[in-house]
Amino acid sequence: MSAPEGMYDVAMKPKLLRSLLREYVPDEKHPFINPSELSYVVSTVKTLKLLSEWTPQEVQQELVDAWKSAVDSWVNRLLALASSNLPDKCWAGICLLGLTCQECSSERFLTSYDVWLNKLLLHIQPSVLSHFVKAASCASLSDMFTRLSEFSNMKKDGTSQATKVLQLSLKLLNEDSSPVVS
């Protein structure tokens, strides 16, 4: 293997992603102390392409597996956060899920977007109390549909899924207590 390339070294990416997850992304047991740390997480993930799972062909299979496992852990944490009853943790999970839609590998996106979509749709229901959670869900759905538009073979499915979002959005707009209408 060649000399390490510092922070951009493919071998470091799984470790960096796990470190971000451990140090900055809340979980069920630890409180969400500083929401501004999410901007650091977003910036680091984007800059270092920590969710891309792209490796040169000469990379050992164990590194490929380690990175896949790290991204699996990332996605599982976000889905758990997005299911949280605590609005701040739910908001964090939803925001980072939008980032994941933008930054993950095409293979992961295509195999996962349906699960992610259904998770996000739960949060744009009229019964959801937190407007921050609803807004974050709408933004993440936008990220998801933007990414989905890159795949011409998914146009029919994307249109079908967008119809669900449109129906829920219209319900939100028609709510008497909705701040969007009042």
In a domain, 45, yes or no: yes
**Residue 177: pLDDT band with limits 50, 70, 90:** low
Q: How far apart are CA 54 and CA 71, in angstroms?
A: 12
Q: Is residue 180 part of a domain?
A: no
Is residue 17 a part of any domain in this protein?
A: yes
Tokens of 14: 């799984």
Instruction: Using alpha carbons only, give the angle 50, 106, 27 rounded to the nearest 5 degrees.
Output: 45
Residue 182 inside a domain? The answer is no
Is 67 within the bounds of a domain? yes
Q: How far, in Å, CA of 27 to CA of 30, rounded? A: 6
- The number of distinct structural domains making up the chain is 1
Q: Using a pLDDT cut of 90, give the percent of the chain over it.
A: 59
pLDDT digit string, tens, across residues 110-164:
999 999 999 999 998 878 788 899 999 999 999 999 999 999 988 888 788 888 8
Contact 74, 100 (CB under 8 A): yes
1 within some domain: no
Q: Does 146 fall in a domain?
A: yes
CATH number of the domain bearing residue 120: 1.25.40
pLDDT reported for residue 2: 46
- Is residue 181 domain-resident? no
Closest CA to 40 of 10, 22, 20, 17: 20
Domain span at residue 100 reads: 6-174
Q: What is the pLDDT of residue 67?
A: 95
pTM of the full predicted structure? 0.85
Task: Give the lowest-confidence range in 70-84, 92-106, 158-172.
Answer: 158-172
pLDDT at 8: 64
The label of the residue with tokens 């451990």 reads 22
Dihedral angle sign, alpha carbons of residues 143, 145, 149, 154: positive
